Structures are given as structure tokens and as C-alpha cells.
Structure 1
Amino acid sequence: MNRRIPVTVLSGYLGSGKTTLLTHLLTNQDTKKIAVIVNDMGEINVDASLIKQGAFSQTEEKLVELQNGCICCTLREDLIVEVKKLVDKGDLDYIIIESTGISEPIPVAQTFIYEDEEVGIHLSEICKLDAMVTVVDAYRFWHDFASGETLLDRKQATNENDHREIVDLLIDQIEFADIIVLNKVDLVEKEDIQELRDVVSKLNPEAKILESSFARIEIDEIMDTNLFDFEKASQAAGWIKELMQEHIPETEEYGVTSFVYKRQRPFHPERFMTWLENWPVDVVRAKGFFWLASRNETTGLLSQAGPSITIQGAGEWVATYSIEEQKEIVQQEPDLRKKWNEVYGDRMTELVMIGIDMKQKELVDSLDTCLLTEEEMKQDWTLFHDRLPAFS
């Protein structure tokens, strides 16, 4: 079997410096034959034209422009076909993909992991993902994080049904990355850089974090790193590690901490809704499962980043299954057996909180007031007033 071509994927929100990094990579190496796939949403492919003016005027690299869509949706198939075409031509050492500022990294990675049955191409046979790189604008990060804006608000959406929030995209790109480049650090105070670095390492403890101005990074920090591992990347997010009891050490100096709120008693829907409406500002990221009395059959999933809070259903509690099915599942999952309650089974709340200068005791106490009282535990839970959004 021929050597598989390594692939580096550059992600990052619009304006973070991905194109600058790409140009830097291309102009500062002269030994590799690199193919570049640039993907841009606009009708005018700004990224591609910039690259043409820069690195491509002096190099022979092949530029493939994928237009009218983004890697993570309509053009996934095009991406597969283009990558295959490039590899088949031979005489190639490396591929760099610059995804759009609004694309999510997981579907891009999946393109290289799973066979696309429609086109019958399995990229993992000819390529290997070397690293998922996310570029973060250190200067604008907190502004974008707290903006509360959607891609539609900024006229950056793929279509009128694309209601994704900027902050959710930022978090997705950080939590699924092997390397995170904090760019534009020359515009930020040293203490603020360290605080951001601490927050980012809480969000993704597995990632290698680099700092840069004008996206100037040593090439061997980004290419031929052999860092990507899909299973590891899928479990890299800080909130997942906390749920798996892998606590991430605190960084006392800048007050970045995390904890898991765990209770085997359901929330009262009205009090919990009021709590959500008054979200504590010191919590920058929260995610996990919750038990709501008025929806006793269904596991709730809460995800928060900055001003964005979403709740949805995450399937039925195992306790709702037949006795036979319960026994089978509990046998397969020893962890479930440990937390199984005689009366309520696996129903419980496990919420991971990551924040800056969090008042943990106050947070825990305020969440505890949302739990059912002894008296309410004996009542008919279906009668409780529930104005939380329906689980999707």
C-alpha cells in the first residue's frame, strides 16, 4: 500500500487568521509538494484570491476552490472527490484544508474517517488526518463569545434556516481540536492571554495550545504532528472528562475552575426555568444531563456557552426500559450499576460547570433550591407547571 498523504485541517471563526496562517505555512517551507483546498462561502472567494496573490504566485501548489457551500454540509461530497483527485495525480506530500469560518470541525474529520457510500470513496485508505487546527482570535474572542449573536445576525449564515449562534461555533471549534492557535496575542494584555489560555485548556485539556502574532507559527508545530485520533478527539472536551471523573486541575491564579453538580433528585420545572433565566455570569461553559420532574421519562441535555443556552432530550432513562433490558444494560455498563438507585434507577442530574471566579457554594446552593422538596416528592409531578422549551 502506498504512503497515505497527511492532511492538516485549519478551522477558526471568520477573521481569526486562518488564511494568514495558511499563507505563512506555504511561504515558509520549500521541501514539500503541498496541495491546498480552500473553501469559502462567498460568491467572491476572498481567501483564494488572497492566497493567489501571496504564496501561489511563487509556487506550483494546486489550488482547489470549493464554492457555494461549506465543507460540513453541501460540499462534503465535493471535498471527498477533490481530495481523491489530488492524491491520484501523485507527486504530492501533503494536503492542507482551510475550512470556512463557519464550518464545524467534526463533519470535516468524519469525511476522512468513514467511507462515503454514495461516491464509493474511502479517504482513510489514501490519506490520514494529521491534525485538526483551530485558530482563535485572542483579541475578539470574549467579544464574540458574549455577543449573543447568530450567524444570521451577522449575515454569515449558510441560509435563512441556519440559526447557529457564534458562541456555539467557537466552542465546537475549540473542543474538537488537536492544536489551538491563540492568534493576535500582540493586541492583548499578558494577563488576559493567560486567562484565555487557562479557559481554553479547561474547554479542551488534550489540545496543544500555541500563541502567535500574525499567525507566525513554526511549521513543525502544525504539520507532520501525527496528533489526530478520532476517538481521543471525540472525548477531548473538558466537560466530557469531568463527567468521566477526570477532574482537570484548577488554575488558581486566574480563577478558572470546574466542578460537577450531581444530584439524584429531580428539578422542579418552574424553579429550574427561573434559574436558567438568571444564568450566573461566572459560568462560561456548562454541559451535562438533568432530571426534570415533569418529564420523568426523558433525559434532559443542557448545553451552555456564554449567553447561549439550549436544552434538548437525550433519549429515555434506562429505568423506563423493561426489567430484562435494564439488567442487560447495567451488566454492560458497570458505572451505571454504581449509581443505580433502587427507586429511580439511573435518573439523576450531572452538570459540568466551567467558569472564571465561580462561587461554587452559592451555585450549588441555588441549584439545590430548584430540586423537589420532600413534600413535592410525594405529589403528582405531572401537575407541576412546566414552561421549559419542548425537548427537540
Structure 2
Amino acid sequence: MRSTPLALLATTDPVLRECAAFDLVVSEPGTVALVHTLSEDATAVRRVVIDANGVISDRWHVLDDGCFSCGIAGDAVNALEEIISMMWPHALAYFPPLAIDPLPLSRVVNEACQDGGLSAHLSSVSAVVDTTAAVEDLLEPITLEERRIASDAPERSIGEAILAQISVADLIVAHGGDGPGGELVEHLRAHDTLLTGDLHDGDVHPLLFGGEHSAAAALARVDPRGVQPWGGPSEYGTWTLDLASTRPFHPARLLDNIELLGAGRLVHRGRFWVPTRPGTICSWEGAGGQVSVGVVGSHPVPAEVSTRLVICGNGDERERLQRAFADSLLTDEELTRDPRSWEATSDELEPWLGAVS
């Protein structure tokens, strides 16, 4: 039995999404697209199915109560399987709700493909980006609510949403050409992520539908433990700053310097550790004026962990960032302290990282 190739294409731009769906279904016979749209109150999704002849169906479905991302993924799997069983398309393109994080969604879809719940194989996960707006969207403090994008987290910046989509993608569709936005996207593109200009050319179909998505490769691209500077051209002033040290951050000084490290027109990715939590690897990520920290995992041997922040921008923040980074690290004297002296029942980062274990 033939397995239908399924491509997942994420974006934050409603116009780009509609254009991309239309381009794909008209450029290759037998291609069908499912466009998933979230209701304003984030309780229901609209399923629009189209092919080269136009709209096939247009229905609303109420999401299951509980986990929001689980509800989106579950409805997507059901809708996609319904399309396959009724139409058996040559290729199937899935456009999830705007600003969705494709990593957990693609994981559920991929698992459904592998266990037989979905008669397809996930061929690719892509991010569709408007490069003419990328600098503003990624660097300015604009929230999803301000852009009128329905979400379960309306306070999230649109930059964070785009960064999540770019970071996990097998393919980036950079619509709008080069310029400052294209240059910034290039600095954020992983070395194994492909880049194409648009979906108008039928040659893009093999990139979307001709391969096999690797969940392990996607996870590796976004794992803070493997963060690295991708770099790129600098014709329009874009730079990537790689701040790395084997030393941990001092929890109090990190909190004091958080604004110096995080404020401004910047995109951040990275990891760090603090001596009050010697067995914990912490994540650092942000865009659009927002920075989030969290716990990634643990490391059995402290010597194997390091602190590394990779920051992209196009302004004059580099010297400030370097000073703040260096000031946040443990000093030579602090490094010589007995590790037991750092043991505590709490630290300054507890509101963000949870209780000290």
C-alpha cells in the first residue's frame, strides 16, 4: 500500500499561508492541503481542505478539554486521516494554526504515521517566513495578541514563535528575497536546514514531499546542549555573537544582569548552569525582547557541562553583552570555593527554574 507523503508547513503569516497552500495544490496534480485555523478564544479549529479545483470542505471542530497542544495535534491527525481515507492524495500539505510550535506537533503526527494511526509518512517540517518583515518580527517586542494571532499564549512574542519554527525546520521557505531579513534568517538557519526562495516553482515539491523527516535531527537542532553559532553574511549588518565558558553563572549576578543580557533587538539561544544546581542544565532562549529560561536536563559530571549563549542582532549591543556575560560568570576566587558551600535550599532563580533539588 502506498504511503502518502505529508509535509507540515508552519508560519505566523496568514497571507503567506493561504498563498503557499494555493501554490502547492495548483503546481502539482493530486496535491491536497489542510489549513488549520484557531478560533479567537482558542477553543476550536477550522479545517479547510483544498485542492486544485478549490475548497473541498470547510468545517469547525471544538478542541478537547485539557492539553492545548495535544488537542491541536489530535484534531490534525484525525483530519489528515479523514482526507487520506476519502481522497488518497498524491501528496498532502498540512498548515497548522498560525504561530504554532511545530516540534511537539510534528512529534505527535510522526508517531501517528509510524504506529499506523495515520496512513502517511511525515516527509518534511518547514517554516514559511516573510523576509521583508523578518527583522521587525524577530527583533521587535511585538506579541501575538498585538498581531491578532489567536493563541493559548497571546503574550508570547511573534519573534519567539518564528524562532521556534525556523529552529526545528528541515526546510525554510524565505519568501521576499534576501535583504536584511533574509540575512537574519540565514544566521538562524541550522547547517542541515535547506533554504528555498518560494513555493511558486514546482521544483520545491521534491524538497517537501520527497524525503523523510527525522525527529532526532529536528530535536538536535533545538537542543540547548548542542547550540552553536550558524553564522552567515553581514552585508546588512547582521552579526552572531558566541559567548562560551566552562564556568557557571553566579545566580545572583545573572539575575542582576538579566536585562543587560536579554534586552534589545536580539535573538538568543543557549544553555547555562549555576553552582547552586550543579546537576542541572538550564536553557536560555528568546526573541522580540523576551527571554525565557528553563530546565533542560541533568548532567552526571559537572566538568562535562558548560555555559554558552549564541546571540544574533544587527545593532551595537555586542560590547554590552560581552561585559554582562563575563560579569555573570563565577570569578577565580568563587571557583576555588568548596562546592558544598553553594548548597542551599533555594536560590535567586527559583521563580523560573523551580525549587532547588
Coarse TM-score class (shorter-chain normalised): 0.7 to 0.9
Residue 226 and residue 184 in structure 1: after superposition, are their counterparts in 2 closer, same or farther (change >3 A)? same
Aligned match for 1:164, one of 156, 165, 176? 156
SS at match of 2:104: helix
How far, CA to CA, are the matches of 1:240 and 1:298 in structure 2?
A: 11
Work out which of the two has the higher radius of gyration on C-alpha atoms and give 1 or 2.
1
Stretches of structure 1 that go unaligned for 5 or more consecutive residues are 186-192, 320-343
Corresponding residue of 2:300: 318
Corresponding residue of 1:209: 195
Q: Would the aligned equivalents of 2:284 and 2:292 in 1 still touch at CA under 8 Å?
A: yes
SS at match of 2:230: coil
How far, CA to CA, are the matches of 2:246 and 2:59 in structure 1?
A: 53
| Structure 1 letter corresponding to 2:94 | I
How far, CA to CA, are the matches of 2:7 and 2:110 in structure 1?
A: 14
| Shift in Å, 1:391 | 0.3
Q: Would the aligned equivalents of 2:166 and 2:189 in 1 still touch at CA under 8 Å?
A: yes
Identity %: 19
Residue 229 and residue 317 in structure 1: after superposition, are their counterparts in 2 closer, same or farther (change >3 A)? closer
Residue 209 and residue 238 in structure 1: after superposition, are their counterparts in 2 closer, same or farther (change >3 A)? farther
| Shift in Å, 1:45 | 8.0
Corresponding residue of 2:306: 348
Q: Deviations over 1:60-82 (max 9, x none)?
A: x7446454459943132232233
Within 5 A, what are the aligned runs for 1:24-35? Answer: 24-29=23-28, 32-35=29-32
Residue 227 and residue 196 in structure 1: after superposition, are their counterparts in 2 closer, same or farther (change >3 A)? farther
SS at match of 1:248: coil
Q: Would the aligned equivalents of 2:127 and 2:165 in 1 still touch at CA under 8 Å?
A: yes
Q: Which moved more, 1:229-238 or 1:39-48?
A: 39-48
SS at match of 2:18: helix
Q: Would the aligned equivalents of 2:180 and 2:236 in 1 still touch at CA under 8 Å?
A: yes
Tell me, yes or no, if structure 1 residue 93 matches structure 2 residue 116.
no
Q: Would the aligned equivalents of 1:40 and 1:67 in 2 still touch at CA under 8 Å?
A: no
Corresponding residue of 2:127: 134
Tell me, yes or no, if structure 1 residue 381 matches structure 2 residue 342.
yes
Aligned length: 341
How far, CA to CA, are the matches of 2:130 and 2:261 in structure 1?
A: 26
Stretches of structure 2 that go unaligned for 5 or more consecutive residues are none
SS at match of 1:220: helix
Corresponding residue of 2:267: 285
SS at match of 1:75: helix
Higher-strand-fraction structure: 2
Corresponding residue of 1:176: 168
Q: Deviations over 1:141-193 (max 9, x none)?
A: 3333234344345553444x6653322111111112222222345xxxxxxx3
Normalising by structure 2, we get a TM-score of: 0.78
Q: Would the aligned equivalents of 1:112 and 1:127 in 2 still touch at CA under 8 Å?
A: no
Q: Which moved more, 1:260-269 or 1:280-289?
A: 280-289
Normalising by structure 1, we get a TM-score of: 0.72
| Shift in Å, 1:96 | 1.6
Q: Deviations over 1:270-293 (max 9, x none)?
A: 322222112366773222221223
Residue 253 and residue 178 in structure 1: after superposition, are their counterparts in 2 closer, same or farther (change >3 A)? same
How far, CA to CA, are the matches of 1:37 and 1:27 in structure 2?
A: 14
| Structure 2 letter corresponding to 1:144 | D
How far, CA to CA, are the matches of 2:278 and 2:46 in structure 1?
A: 51
Tell me, yes or no, if structure 1 residue 226 matches structure 2 residue 211.
yes
Q: Would the aligned equivalents of 1:242 and 1:248 in 2 still touch at CA under 8 Å?
A: no
Corresponding residue of 2:183: 198
| Shift in Å, 1:371 | 2.2
Corresponding residue of 1:73: 70
| Shift in Å, 1:194 | 3.0
Aligned match for 1:106, one of 103, 116, 120? 103
| Shift in Å, 1:5 | 0.8
| Shift in Å, 1:4 | 0.9
How far, CA to CA, are the matches of 2:259 and 2:318 in structure 1?
A: 19
Q: Root-mean-square deviation (CA), in Å? A: 3.7
Corresponding residue of 1:13: 12
| Structure 2 letter corresponding to 1:79 | A
| Structure 2 letter corresponding to 1:179 | L
How far, CA to CA, are the matches of 2:139 and 2:133 in structure 1?
A: 10
Q: Would the aligned equivalents of 2:131 and 2:185 in 1 still touch at CA under 8 Å?
A: no
